[in-house]
Amino acid sequence: MILNQHRVGRSGCSPLLAALCVVAASGAAAAAPSAEVVRIGTSAEGRPVEVIAIGEASIGADGLSRDERPALVIVAGMQGHHAVGRATARAVGERLMRDHPDLLSGWTVYILADANPDGSARWSDQRGAVAESGRAPATLDEDGDGRTNEDGPNDLNGDGLITMMRVRGAIPAYGIEPSLTIDPDEPRLMRKPDAAKGEVATHSVWVEGIDDDGDGRFNEDGWGGASGGGVDFDRHFPIHWPEHEDGAGLYPLQRPAARAVVEWAQSRGNIVGVLVYGPHDTLASVPPAGKFGPLGRVSTGIENDDKSGYELVSEAFKKATGISRSAGEVDRGGSFLQWSYADLGVWTFGTPVWVRPDLVGSVGDKDDASAAEPEPSPMEEAIARDRTALAERGVPQELIEFIYATTDERAAIVAEMDAMTPEERNERMNLLRNAPMDVQQRVMALAQGQPDPMAPKIEPVPEPEKPVSKPKKRGDSDEAKWLAWIDDERAGSGFVGWTEVDHPQLGTVEVGGFAPGVRVNPPDELLESLADKQAAFVVELLGMLPTLVFDEPRVERVGDGLWRVSLTARNTGSLATVPASGVKARRLPGLIMALDPDLAVPNESIVSGRRVQTLETIAPSGEARAEWMIAAEEGSSVRIAVRSARFGDRGFDVRLGEGGGR
């Protein structure tokens, strides 16, 4: 049985990242970069919520500290059962420190590997049956009977797993009506009946368990049950919070761990990008652009102006990881990913890290295939045959090209003939006069704007006879593809075969289905390869995120005692310094370039240009220029201060004179 629970202790260090944890725990600053574990909060059950800060700890050549340099945040563990995300986040940090220390002299990478420690601890807890849930356990009264968590799922077949039970027929006492039928092509799966084929519903499917509290419902009040039995961290953040829906919590950020993550992120102005390992995919499939919530302001996907940036990053992701298609759309309402993009206002990307193998394909192979010559259509083949036949009859190439020219091209040829000398025009007409009569008719008709009277036609191709017996094939549903993978690659381990169980209230039922976590976490032998690919993508992403550099200040003499001073900021990244969502959110001020912040230069000496100039964002590979005209004596100095929460502060002392910028 594949459970892939990847136990992680309270220290947050797994064997996979022993090296990183040793560096972090020791606080060693001798090496650059180094790692530091920072506790940012405590969960409802008393577990630490921690961030690993990776980067050059000391003040670097850029004059910035680790918490001032632009930063990428890698977040995992919002879903407690997404163990692959937690393991990969830590492994990526280890690879960055080991293989790419040069990158970390200019960037800080924050790794929040276990954002929901209560949920991951419950998933790893072996004391009870394992259920498919990544929620943080909570004391809830979902059925409103004044009792809490009294009707969770039950392990009816004693295999240590909570799977499903399928019930045949209607059971009026419990309001059970059949809605599904057994798939005749794959009896282990259920599907909706096809009325056109005379199929009728025979079964209903429920979470494995009994009605513990006798209220006529099953597993409605407890962790892992029908209602989830806890707080879903991907439905618990303020943006498009699904109020009153299962798992959303009583109010956004009710759980202290979620609130700690938000408070920490808001305190870090240097964050320019976020990468979330979880159920949401915005990389293999770019989110829809230009769609908004009920008030028409907050995006449910991405802003139109950010689409090209997401497409660019998506291509880099596909090449680095091989994940070429999305596993399916998951509602992002209330998720950290959507909050980070719309409220924190930074470039935010999400990936499940691992997907079913049929969703993985070599981008290079796909590109090679697309570069190959496509098969000609029947009409293209007919035109090619007609061209060959005309040439074999001795028809001049000029007339053949005229026949198959576009309407605009023919008009240009006719206009060209009108501009010819009489001798040139007569020579061209002789080509037509000497052509076969049918060709003359075609050319004249086309020249007058009429259809080609002898255009090639496509003979209809008779459809092949259908085979008498159609071979049985596997279904194309998502569940069928998962089952095929389990059968082919895991020798069936990961699906519990349906077995009859005597249910105390429903009689004989069948228990079985997909094992918890088998469609979320990969086999352990894939973890290293996944970490390598995700680390390669992070390196690419760091090269694409916005980076701000400044030219030397420029000083130009305009007249006697009059100087033009300018400073140019350049974004050398492939993404805008602030996405459109960040411009709209207005959480942080944009780039500020201020002349003489100490007000030593009187206002009347600034002939033109506002003393303080601001810009919300700089386009990819774009620039912003601040310019002032100053009346001052040659040899005097003036200071330009740059303020940027995202990219750090800088200062430039400028001497007014030829070549005075420095």
Dihedral pair phi/psi, residue 278, rounded to 5°: -175, -160
pLDDT, one tens digit per residue, over 45-98 is: 999 999 999 998 888 777 888 999 999 999 999 999 999 999 999 999 999 999
Instruction: Specify whether the CB–CB gap between 233 and 258 falls below 8 A.
Output: yes
- This prediction's pTM: 0.78
Dihedral pair phi/psi, residue 152, rounded to 5°: -90, 180
Helix axis angle, 83-99 to 18-26, nearest 10°: 70
* Residue closest to 81 by CA, chosen among 519, 568, 487: 519
283 three-class SS: coil
pLDDT of residue 225: 66
Instruction: Specify whether the CB–CB gap between 137 and 230 falls below 8 A.
Output: yes
552-566 per-residue burial string, b: 16 or more CB within 10 A, e: under 16: ebbbeeeeeeebbbb
Instruction: Name the pairing type of β-strands 108-112 and 71-76.
Output: parallel
pLDDT of residue 235: 93
pLDDT of residue 429: 85
pLDDT, one tens digit per residue, over 242-278 is: 998 888 999 999 999 999 999 999 999 999 999 999 9
Distance CA 555, CA 563 (A): 7
Low-confidence stretches of the chain (pLDDT beneath 50): 1-31, 363-373, 468-472, 662
Can you name the residues that pair with 444 across neighbouring β-strands? none
268 three-class SS: coil
Sketch out the chain's domains with CATH numbers: 28-125+231-356+522-543 (3.40.630.10), 139-228+474-514 (no CATH), 548-655 (2.60.40.10)
pLDDT of residue 327: 78
Q: Which amino acid is at 115?
A: A
Q: Which amino acid is at 575?
A: L
pLDDT of residue 298: 87
Distance CA 167, CA 15 (A): 43
**Continuous segment of H or E residues that includes residue 444:** helix 437-447
